[in-house]
Structure 1
């Protein structure tokens, strides 16, 4: 999986930088099972540098 070119291992590192304790296996499981909370999704978007989100 890659969001904006950020693979799981890098995303886990970036999440750690913003204070979110996550590991690669749990991240992969959450995404594959679509078990993402809105809060966790926002944390991931923050970690990968999304500054603006447009919903149509």
Structure 2
């Protein structure tokens, strides 16, 4: 179970880092998700990223919404 939590934190940190690199706030992400047909609110996005509990589909929707075409898994 602890390994799952570590993976959740890693994925959440990776998405947060990508948002920071792109200069996208949670509010802006909510708007960009809406533009691609994925309605979500800023508080809900904040909670998902804080908990690290979200689906791979949500991850890919976020990456698509912010225009990420390449993702580095390690530095």
Q: Does TM, normalized by the shorter one, top 0.5?
A: yes
Displacement of 1:16: 0.1
Q: Distance in 2 between matches of 1:51 and 1:19?
A: 19
Q: Distance in 1 between matches of 2:36 and 2:57?
A: 13
Q: Distance in 2 between matches of 1:54 and 1:25?
A: 27
| Higher helix content, 1 or 2 | 2
How many residue pairs get matched?
56
Q: Which has the larger radius of gyration?
A: 2
3-state SS of paired residue (1:45):
helix
4+ residue runs over 6 A deviation: none
Summarize the alignment of residues 36-47 of structure 1 with structure 2, pairs less than 5 Å apart.
Answer: 36-47=54-65
Any stretches of 5+ residues in structure 2 without a counterpart? 1-15
Displacement of 1:51: 1.4
Aligned-pair Cα RMSD in Å: 1.7
| Higher strand content, 1 or 2 | 1
Displacement of 1:54: 4.1
